[in-house]
Structure 1
Amino acid sequence: MKQLKATIMKANMSDHTKQMYADEFSYEKDDIVPPPFNINELKSMAEYSTILQQCIDAYKTNILGFGFGVEYAFDFNAEGVKPAKKKAAEKEWTRLEEFTKYMNYDESADVVLGYVIEDREKTGNGFLEVLRDGQGKPAGIEYLDALHIRICKLSEPVDVEFRYTENGELKTMNRKKRFRKYVQVINEKKVFFKEYGDPRILHCETGKYDDTTPEPLRATEVIHFKIGSGTYGIPRWIGNIVNMYGARKAEELNYLYFKQGRHVPGAIIVENGMLSESSYQQLQDYMDDIEGSDHAHKFLLLEVEGLPTEKGLTGEEDVSNVKVNFKSLAEILQEDALFLEYDEKTRNKIRSAFRLPPIYTGESQDYNKATADTARKTTEEQVFQPERHLITGKLNTLFLPDLDIWHVRFLLNGPDFRDPLEIAKVLTPFIQAGAVSPNDLRDLAGRILGKTLEEWPEDLYHRPLESRMTSAEQEPQREANQLKK
């Protein structure tokens, strides 16, 4: 019975990673809730993905890129608004503008919040440290890296004073609320923080509530921006993590293809013989040193030994005739770029998790002006505007009562999709019908001219031109009627 022996030659490579991830947190000792996923891995995922960072940048740019603003919490120009309320609102407007401007002395407020939003989109969690002044009012914000922060279990309920307005009057009430502590560990140094609004004094080194804690050791407060309602937030792309790993492996496979050069796969078939030990070792060395285009056209010399046969008529041992065949396996050779369709579908899935059209990630080959405007407006209405409301809603709810501000609120500006030329075309029949005044058109004219145009103070510019022209044409008729009388 004949036997077939096959030997596979391949390059020697490491089959597992040598990296180590050190988690320095004492979960049981400090009552820390373990995160559902590896925070370190989640945050580093954007460095290995070809689409995740673009989606995160699109969120950060379109949510915060247009800057902070201030708006009135009521209709300032409505009839019946008392002058005292308007005056108080104007003062609060100035105070809130100054607070926004100086929330951080090194960066603008939108830049610091941008770091927090980036962490939130990568790991599901973003943390903002809040500093208070000597009067106990919020005075500044600082960015906290989500990689080094863990969340503790809920504490027992404590009494908290809640301030609100009812029928324009400021009222207070007491309610029960449970707060959390936060732990930061960097290079084995541990620092505790307390949740924003916690009235108790927390020692930043021991994590104990102690009213005798000196001022320098009192913990500051943290605002937690998260995705979802759990203790920890969960990234919106977590369901596609397997696809992201697969796309990464496909990219590595293509990279190794070009790195190692185009080597045609084949089978070396030896009949009635065997490779010598030196040829076997040379072939193994060749496979180990196969990387690079310089090795793509080398010659391979094989030394083959025939197998001994039975003694013939001469009484001497014969050697079989050796036959060496090369069987090309080029038909299974991978193309220049493998898994392109798989990679494209993965990119589409990640964008779908963020609900972003391709134009926001720099893939706009199939767009024209109409489709691009529709995609931008739809994404603005369905994605970015609600995200801005979530952020400003949290800041307004937490900051404004502590700042004693009730008539104005934070606002995150958005893009202006209005086309001045298109608006001018729409306004033409209204102008001809005498429905708008010159001052109504000053702002539109300023956008077209690229400058700021103030309203004219004279009363005649507050009335439509057509109505004034009609009045001027009717004046001679009125005079004639008076003379007749």
Structure 2
Amino acid sequence: MLPLGEERVQTLLKAVVVGARVDDPASRGGGEQSSAFADAGALAPPYDPEAMCLLVEHSNSLRQNVDAYATNIDGFGFRFDPVIDFEAEEAREKVRDTLMLERLAAHDAGTLDATTSVTPTVDEANARFDELRQHSRVERARLEAFFDFACFDHSFVDLRRRTRQDLEVTGNAFWEVLRDGKGDLARFVYVPSYTVRLLPLDRDPVEVKERVRVSPVTFDTVSARRRLRRYVQIQGAERAFFKSFGDPRVISRNTGAVFPDVASLKIADATDGPATELLHFAIHSPRSPYGVPRWVGTLLSVLGSRQMEEVNYLYFENKSVPPMALLVSGGRLSDASVPRIERFIEENLKGKANFHKILILEADGSGTGDGGRAKIELRPLTDAQQQDALFQVYDERNIDKVGGAFRLPRMLRGESKDFNRATAESA
């Protein structure tokens, strides 16, 4: 019996860690690019956008959820629905109400003619009906022409699909808005979200023009003072600044500085130009101006499933338990046999090419009379071998957790085995 306080100690001869150490994608540093954003005065996002992109690439469950959103939300295209359906029975009544709302707004603003009644007559409503119906046809034709060529090298639907993917992967998405010489919208340009950072809100508010609805078909323009934000994009050695959508100021594209007009900007730097506008889409987060992806709560599940996949993959390259052992008893192993066994396991048992090799153990005779009664025993070791992939239930639960974050059933994620689309629609 061991004295009190004394412990049994077993000497550990050798421990081998198989596989190189790989940092979690979310813990990788941003390097020089993060320093460049910090030098530009940008705010740090809650999660590294590039690391989020890497996680989606390495995950066995995220991509199908993101693709389901992009296909079923944005991939179906779009259509233009008129505010007033001029073929409906109540269309003329809606037009009359619209005309009344416009006159009430003009009366409140003091711009309505004293001889004009707030309540329109039937003839006035019919004339307004014909006018609005013609304007609706023209507006639809112009909208269709604009959105057919809203992007340079892809369709507007493709732009929306890319936007959805960025929004679901990083929590943020961006469009660069280009205008023509008259100041009207001309093109939308997709901007990768991982290349953009937000700058702090400007301290001084800026007077901007905003549109408020007067009636279903008319708007009025009012002035408001808002604190606006600038943005910076860094790709490699290139850096460009943007301004918020609707910002009337002249901002340097190279430095982000504000100038009173374009002439002053050109005097400061002839190679510089005014910054264009940027539309920012975000999944709202109460603690950050950046968006946060909806699946970030399942981050540990995503990382755990990735580690599970790596463990199962490494099994085929590092399997070291033979299927059987041939034991020769009636003696003892020589000193030279131990390194030979270690070398055999290292070189001839690991990997899928050596999956069915066996290990033979030979014993030297003990030199006694029992040496002639050496015994050979074939002992299977399959119970110690891994029969199937590990952590399958754990991985399945993780996949369901990620799908739950997107609120998507298994059928939309392409994982349904119990029913097909026809049975799902009938149910």
Given the two structures, how large is their TM-score scaled by the length of structure 2? Answer: 0.74
143, 146, 150: which one aligns with 2:190? 143
More deviation, 235-244/361-370: 361-370
Q: Any conservation in 1 of the 2:324–2:381 contact (CA below 8 Å)?
A: yes
Is the counterpart of residue 295 in structure 1 residue 354 in structure 2? Answer: yes
Q: What is the rounded CA distance, in whole Å, between the counterparts of 2:425 and 2:199 in structure 1?
A: 45
1:360 is paired with a residue whose SS is coil
Equivalent runs, 1:327-338 vs 2, <5 Å: 330-338=382-390
Q: Distance in 2 between matches of 1:249 and 1:166?
A: 57
Corresponding position of 2:419: 367
Structure 1 position 79 matched with structure 2 position 96: no
| Residue of structure 2 equivalent to 1:219 | 275
* CA spacing shift, 1:45–1:5, aligned 2, 3 Å: closer
Specify the alignment match of 1:441 in structure 2.
Answer: none
Residue 11 of structure 1, CA deviation: 6.3
Equivalent residue of 1:252, what SS?
A: helix
Higher relative contact order (CA 8 A, sep 6+): 1
Question: If the length of structure 1 is used for normalisation, what is the TM-score?
Answer: 0.66
Q: CA deviation at 1:365?
A: 2.2
Q: Which residue of 111, 125, 142 corresponds with 1:95?
A: 142
Aligned residues: 360
- Residue 107 in 1 paired to residue 159 in 2? no
What secondary structure, in the 3-state scheme, does the structure 2 residue paired with 1:359 have?
A: coil
Contact kept, 8 Å, 1:266 with 1:329, in 2: the verdict is: yes
| Greater displacement, 332-341 / 113-122 | 332-341
Equivalent runs, 1:85-484 vs 2, <5 Å:
85-156=132-203, 157-167=205-215, 169-210=218-259, 211=261, 212-214=264-266, 217-229=273-285, 230-261=288-319, 263-264=321-322, 276=335, 279-289=337-347, 290-298=349-357, 300=359, 330-367=382-419, 371-373=423-425
**Aligned counterpart, 1:7:** 13
Q: Which moved more, 1:168-177 or 1:358-367?
A: 168-177
Change beyond 3 A, Cα 1:4–1:200: closer
Q: Which residue among 49, 64, 83 is the counterpart of 1:54? A: 64
Gap runs ≥5 in structure 1 = 308-322, 376-485
Q: Residue type of the partner of 1:337?
A: A
Which stretch shifts more, 13-22 or 220-229? 13-22
Structure 2: runs of 5 or more not aligned: 3-7, 96-128, 367-374
The alpha-carbon deviation at position 213 of structure 1 amounts to 2.4
Q: Deviations over 1:340-374 (max 9, x none)?
A: 21111111111111111111122232225665127
Q: Is the deviation greater in 7-16 or in 30-39?
A: 7-16
Corresponding letter in the other structure for 1:104: C
> How far 1:159 moved relative to its partner?
0.4
Amino acid at match of 2:173: G
Q: Which SS does the other structure have where 2:181 is aligned? A: coil
Partners of 2:377 and 2:48 in 1: CA distance = 52
Instruction: Give the direction of change, closer, same or farther, for the CA distance of 1:128–1:292 in structure 2 (3 Å limit).
Output: same
1:261-296: per-residue Cα shift (whole Å, max 9, x none)? 57348999x9998873x5444444344434323323
Are 2:294 and 2:405, in contact at CA under 8 Å, matched by a contact in 1? yes
Note the alpha carbon deviations across 1:208-230, whole angstroms, 9 max, x for none. Answer: 11222249621111111111143
Q: Aligned AA for 2:169?
A: K
Query: Any conservation in 1 of the 2:64–2:413 contact (CA below 8 Å)?
Result: yes
Alpha-carbon separation, structure 1, partners of 2:15 and 2:337: 12
Contact 2:322–2:358 (8 Å) recurs in 1: no
Q: Closer, same or farther in 2 for the Cα pair 1:141/1:216, shift >3 Å? A: farther
Shift of 1:4: 5.6
Contact preservation (8 Å) 2:320, 2:346: no
CA distance in 2, matches of 1:374, 1:118: 30
User: Residue type matched to 2:302 in 1?
Assistant: M
Write the distance in 2 (CA, Å) between the matches of 1:326 and 1:256. 28
Aligned sequence identity (%): 34
Alignment partner of 1:64 out of 74, 86, 90: 74
- 1:24 CA drift (Å): 1.6
Structure 1 CA distance, aligned partners of 2:410 and 2:74? 20
Matched residue, 1:458:
none
Deviation of the 1:29 alpha carbon: 3.8
